[in-house]
Amino acid sequence: MTLRPDAAAETPETEAAADPGTEAGAEAAAICADLIRFDTANRGEGDAHPERPAAEHVAALLDEAGVAAEIVESAPGRASVLARIPGTDPSHPAFLVHGHLDVVPADASDWAVPPFSGEVRDGCVWGRGAVDMKGSLAMTLATVRARLRAGRRTRGDLVLAFLADEECTGEYGSRYVAREHREYFEGCAEAISESGGFSVDAGGTRIYPVATGERGTAWMRLTARGTAGHGSKPARDNAVAEIAHAVSRIASYEWPVRLTLGVRALLDGLADALGTAIDHDRLDEEAVRLGRAGHLFAGTVRNSANPTRLDAGYKVNVVPGTASAQVDGRYLPGTGEEFLATIDRLLGPKVVREFINHEEAPAADPAGATFAALAGSLRAEDPLARPVPYVMAGGTDAKSFNAIGITSFGFAPLRLGPELDYFGMFHGVDERVPLDGLAFGTRVLDRFLDTR
């Protein structure tokens, strides 16, 4: 759980004099490639390749740096790595850096390179997880290892969590460690993790969105019950028809715009960075006009509910007694009650809902000291950087840590060339991360950790 007491004695003085940015950047690329070669594809609902081999690799890298990491399993093979590195001031708050070891699946036939090869080509590391988020884990590991080799520690304790199962619900990863291993997170109030800090090219301006929140999750199962019978006879109480009508009402509903504090801060920041007014009454059109910059708010100005599954019946001439559907609901911070009330109204009296997964929408302060430190670290490495607050449309392990009082910022810094679309690579084909982007990220992380 803590740094080994003999770790400092193992650090040669010549290593401390080396350029930590160059050293860590090169190491991050190598670690990223190695992590990609562990196939940790997670299809959800328990169908996942075990994270244990990748976790053992991460733990070994930390052990080499003098950190006694612990591997914890929530189920056989579903492993996470936890470590707590003492800071220089025991009275200072601890800080958490968390990320996930699992990835979404990849169909090799669609890719230009084998998705679990970790191949280096055209100045990039290619493979599933390069962006989401083994590249980020590699930057964290390389940065921490370089700092420890140089005898540099954060002021407060630095807590590291490399987690299983983020690509499903986190039940085997972040939820498990937050519930069963709370001792590691004692004194932590804030954290950084994925989905923020990457550059977005916007007509010569480099925007860096730093996530200060994300929409809440309401995955729901809808059920309609009716009278079973022969398909040739009148069926006035048809469960299939009821579920179809309910799903149609949800799919066609136009959710109203709800500008939360975080989204307003993003719109203001984009308008300032791009030197253009953004019409809050025409945000759908503005998102299209602003291109990649518009993608940052297109999915977070309103709640959403997308039907994703239907299930009913077993034979064409039998009217079933029940029918069900599944809906992926997402809602902005502070709008959860409004969201569910709207869903219930759209369902009508004959359809009931239950949660498959329900997590509140976390939010952080876009005007606070931690956001300022994150933004300052980006500007120090890229003088043209324009950091802006950002609310994520989807979700991360931040929700699990929010439930135990830890506020997360999305910050996995990458400088990308204009030809690379972060959102297009996220869960996409030919996912890859630039070598110079990884080097940039390690320098930014190193600067930020100096503020902790």
Q: Which residues are catalytic?
A: 102, 166
The DSSP code sequence of 303-333 is -EEEEEEEEE-SSTTEE-SEEEEEEEEEE-T
104 phi/psi in degrees, rounded to 5: -80, 160
| Cα–Cα dist 270/264, whole Å | 10
Whether omega for the bond prior to residue 133 falls within 30 degrees of 0, making it cis, is yes
- Residue 444: name the closest of 231, 213, 192 by CA: 192
318 phi/psi in degrees, rounded to 5: -125, 120
Other residues' Cβ atoms within 10 Å of the Cβ of residue 332: 28
- Burial pattern 175-197, b for ≥16 Cβ within 10 A else e, equals bbbbeeeeebbeebebbbbbbbb
| CB-count exposure of residue 317 (10 Å: 0-12, 13-18, 19+) | exposed
Task: Provide the 3-class DSSP secondary structure of residue 162.
Answer: strand
Strand 124-126, strand 432-434: pairing:
antiparallel
- Residue 106: name the closest of 422, 432, 395 by CA: 432
| Cα–Cα dist 54/10, whole Å | 25
Task: Provide the 3-class DSSP secondary structure of residue 34.
Answer: helix
